[in-house]
Structure 1
Amino acid sequence: MLIYKIFRADEWAELQAAGVTNGAPVDVADGFVHFSTAEQVAETAAKHFAGQDGLILLALDPQTLGPTLKWETSRGGALFPHLYRPLRMADIRWHKPLPLVDGAHRFPEGMA
């Protein structure tokens, strides 16, 4: 099982340049990096990134994140993964573009 993070192009560029990030502005404000499961990520994209193109989808293996990854109740009472440390490039298993096609984000085949 993988977990997913959606970044805007500038947030992705910052992570690539620095090798580490505290996340998007919402992550910094909340004190942890927000992630979604495969079942949750499309709704996350629709709710928080509606109409935005040029996004990057990051995939991570939650088993490699250790005890700083917590599963906490969030939207609709579902458990969401939250990382309580900076996100590192080394944490990322893969990244792919998340294009906007006809008003909806197109996710990579086989992941959601």
Structure 2
Amino acid sequence: MASDYRTPTYIYKIVPASSPPPEPLPDALPVSELDHNDGFIHLSTSLQVSRTLGRYFSNVDSVYILRIQYKNVEKDIRWEDPKGKNPSGIGEENSFPHLYNGFHLGKKEVNSVQQWSNGTEGWETAIRRAEADGWFKY
């Protein structure tokens, strides 16, 4: 599926458990330092979440995964490399969905939240469980 360049149904925001999203979700969640500095909200497709977790969250015990229905934010998404450069096509390798909407990611955009634990197999157990439940999909 790595060469599956089609429009996703969902895209995902990874939030460390040290900064849990409030319940109920507000209109706009707090913005991470990385997102603020880069000028957009970093998101991933289901095909990219495993790599993102491994690269940036390998030493974290738990994260929240925020699921966003792509069609609801599509007009504000740019597909770019991780630093927000080199625009490219939807779903291409090393092309990430970046949200440019004034940092508004909250109850209108997020349709579901799960907490995942980094187990003995790394993040793969949480990913497989969410896929089996039908929650985590492209």
Instruction: Tell me if the contact between 2:82 and 2:95 (Cα under 8 Å) persists in the aligned partners.
Output: yes
The alignment yields a C-alpha RMSD, in angstroms, of 2.4
SS at match of 1:90: coil
Counterpart position of 2:97: 81
Q: Deviations over 1:29-85 (max 9, x none)?
A: 10100000111010000000012012101111111014211111338x621100012
Unaligned ranges ≥5, structure 2: 1-8, 84-92
Q: Is the 8 A contact 1:22 1:28 kept in 2?
A: no
Aligned residue pairs, count = 112
C-alpha separation in 1, matches of 2:56 and 2:24: 22
Which has the larger helix fraction?
1
The answer to whether the aligner puts 1:101 opposite 2:119 as a matched pair is: yes
Q: Which amino acid aligns with 2:115?
A: P
What is the TM-score when the length of structure 1 is the normalising length? 0.84
Indicate the residue corresponding to 2:12 in structure 1: 4
Identity %: 24
Unaligned runs of 5+ in 1: none
Higher CA-based Rg: 2
